[in-house]
Structure 1
Amino acid sequence: MGIDTHRHGRLTNRGEFTMLTVAALIVFFGGVIALQVPVLIKKQMYRDLTVFSLLMLLGMVYSFSLALDLPTFNPIRYLESIFAPATGFVDNMLSDMERL
């Protein structure tokens, strides 16, 4: 845990910054849950509560992994591998059109 520069150019202790970020995330997610879950339960919206819980869990996992510099899932790699053949085809077509 050394001294690290942050976006604004100030020197910060990386460990303290990480702990403040994690604490802010806990307060934020706790507040959202405290506001939404009782309303969903009171209105007996159990399907909505299930979807809310799953999306909140995904958001929490992703946020905490970013805050703690853990590796995160990047779907771009998979999308690139799927669309690479189409990209090559379009590039070839456009380069052929430029020759005309």
Structure 2
Amino acid sequence: METAGLFVIIVIIGALEAPRLIKEKMWKELGVFSLLLLTGATLAIVMIMDITFLNPVKVLEKVFTPVGKWIEQVLT
């Protein structure tokens, strides 16, 4: 039920915003809007369905912690 409600809200948001972007021929903005709306919708559905999802902050920590330590060693 929650997923259906979320879908309705997403459709309403798209129906309110997309026609103006299309009318004014703002194609790049429409693409960015669509990408962000779909990304948000996907993340919301994942949260509603209680699916474990990889946290992007953890990925960045794993990448940049060794880089930070290396820079610290070079500078000291």
Unpaired runs of 5+ residues, structure 2, are none
Structure 1, unaligned stretches of length 5 or more? 1-18, 90-100
TM-score normalized with structure 1 length: 0.61
Instruction: Find the counterpart in structure 2 of residue 68 from structure 1.
Output: 49
Residue 46 (structure 1) aligns with: 27
CA RMSD of aligned residues (A): 2.2
Cα offset, 1:41, TM superposition: 0.5
- Larger C-alpha radius of gyration, 1 or 2? 1
Corresponding pairs, count: 72
Paired-residue identity, %: 38
Q: TM-score, normalised by structure 2?
A: 0.77
2:22 pairs with 1:32: no
Higher strand share: 1
Larger relative contact order (CA 8 Å, sep ≥ 6): 2
Runs (4 or more) in structure 1 with deviation over 3 Å come to: none
